[in-house]
Structure 1
Amino acid sequence: MSIIFILIGISLCVALAFLGAFLWAVRSGQYEDDYTPSIRMLFEDEALPDEK
């Protein structure tokens, strides 16, 4: 029975770690631009000077 309490504690720690990582990503601006990646493939890449 005690293993259940240990597993619940471990799962809560893992869940809090993922929540912390998500909040850090949101605050650092990882999810700011959600429009550009969807249209990036429509733009032509400029050729590098050594490519012809």
Structure 2
Amino acid sequence: MDSLYLLLPVSVLLVLALIGVFAWAVNAGQFDDLDREGWRVLEGGEEAPTATKAQQAGVPLDPGQL
């Protein structure tokens, strides 16, 4: 029973902290556009991948590096 005197205020403070973090995230615009990053991954980059410096120098790749 004595533990409730400690756990109840701690849990209330934790809930208030979580509500504060959620309110900050909403006000900071974290949830404005949830689909943008998903579409960015699917669209890919505009430029083609370039060769690394080792490939440009003609160094053969180690099979363990693939």
TM-score (norm 2): 0.63
**What letter corresponds to residue 32 of structure 1 in structure 2?**
D
Partners of 1:19 and 1:44 lie apart in 2 by 36
**What letter corresponds to residue 27 of structure 2 in structure 1?**
R
CA RMSD after TM alignment:
2.1
**What letter corresponds to residue 25 of structure 2 in structure 1?**
A
Partner of residue 4, structure 1: 4
Partner of residue 58, structure 2: none
Higher Rg: 2
- Residue identity (%): 32
Partners of 2:24 and 2:11 lie apart in 1 by 20
Partners of 1:16 and 1:44 lie apart in 2 by 40
Any gaps of 5 or more consecutive residues in structure 2? Answer: 52-66
TM-score (norm 1): 0.76
Partners of 1:44 and 1:37 lie apart in 2 by 11
Partner of residue 26, structure 1: 26
Greater RCO (CA < 8 Å, at least 6 residues apart): 1
